[in-house]
A = this chain, B = another copy of it.
């Protein structure tokens, strides 16, 4: 099956393994006339780069992106944009042992079940490096959306039990701490928590939140292509994500209609707005013009140095301890991946929406 393509009109296809020649993405359906250079993409990739703090793997990756096609005279041409990051720092020897057994929490076993064998070097296609293609494509989607007035604010909402508090919430803090938390105090507490995890050869999960502002109302679809459904698929397709929420999410299940309904009201300019935003900006699958608010639950890094039980390919029960240094938490590096996938899904929905009404069509074509 072909599972490496996402999107219908704005469509990305990623490829590449952790320890192959490189990883990349083909972005097809980007409109002509968007100014684009490698630096636009590089700055997004740098947000997911490892080795930036003690909470990310020290594996050094240059991750320098090259644009191979689709850009001419510094503008997109409307044809596919091929982006590649060549792998430069892979060390296959580190991974030779894991070929023989199934790491708990990893896809080693399921790969073998589906394909009969696997590229066991560094997780192969299930490596975190697979997200490079997503982020490179996301950089283009975000740039395009910015030009339409749509902006993203994405950050770490919680690490293990340590959550950002609403009273300390300050987006200017996001870039100031290695965990990308919009709350200086929470960031410090979370770092202490991670230090303790590391001391115990353990790892932590967390939550990423993404807020999309400036969305026009009416984007999405009332049935299967609901905007929240497309966002859910986009976000849940990121490795390690185990849950997705829009607006109040699972809290809505505990709420009542009186508290959960958002009253419509009139803005000063007479436009329709909402008094609250429990819905997270989407009603009936279509954007309502408020901020879209979504969250992803990210599981703890499965690679831990602590001893674990597993089985090997010879059918023996064994004990293993994952060698090498790994991120004790992948949440901070996932922030830009969540933003990228959200932007890709929204771009596709915006494009699909253009033929929703005869009056728009007539204006466009007559």
Contacts and interface: CB of A to CB of B under 8 A. Distances in A.
Contacts of A275: 309
Contacts of A26: 4, 13, 15, 26
A218 B113 contact: yes
A23 B70 CA distance: 11
A73 to B, nearest CB: 8
Closest 4 CB pairs of A and B: A107-B284, A3-B221, A113-B218, A2-B29
A214 B9 CA distance: 25
Interface string A220-238: 1111111011111111110
Q: How many copies does the complex hold?
A: 4
13 contacts: A17-B79, A21-B66, A34-B358, A102-B272, A113-B289, A114-B353, A204-B257, A206-B253, A216-B365, A226-B237, A229-B236, A242-B248, A257-B303
A111 interface: yes
Contacts of A216: 113, 365
Contacts of A147: 358, 362
A253 to B, nearest CB: 4
Given A111-B286, A119-B72, A257 B3 contact: no
A257 B300 contact: yes
Most B Cβ at <10 Å: residue of A23, A232, A239, A245: A232
Nearest to A286: B110
A366 B149 contact: yes
Given A7-B2, A15-B79, A116 B243 contact: no
Contacts of A253: 158, 160, 205-207, 242-243, 297-299
A106 B204 CA distance: 38
Interface in A283-314: 283-289, 297-304, 306, 308-311
B69 A263 contact: no
Contact of A242 (B79, B247, B304, B352): B247
A77 B310 contact: no
A126 B355 contact: no
A339 interface: no
Contact of A243 (B204, B243, B263, B288): B243
A124 B234 CA distance: 28
Nearest to A355: B351
A255 B107 contact: no
Interface in A335-362: 350-362
Nearest to A341: B224
A217 interface: yes
Q: What bracket does the count of chain A residues touching chain B fall in?
A: 35 or more
A199 interface: no
A109 B262 CA distance: 12
A3 B15 contact: no
A165 interface: no
A82 interface: yes
Given A3-B225, A104-B263, A197-B256, 18 more contacts: A2-B8, A9-B355, A16-B80, A20-B69, A33-B358, A104-B262, A110-B285, A111-B286, A114-B353, A149-B366, A223-B237, A232-B233, A236-B246, A237-B285, A242-B253, A243-B253, A263-B310, A350-B355
A139 interface: no
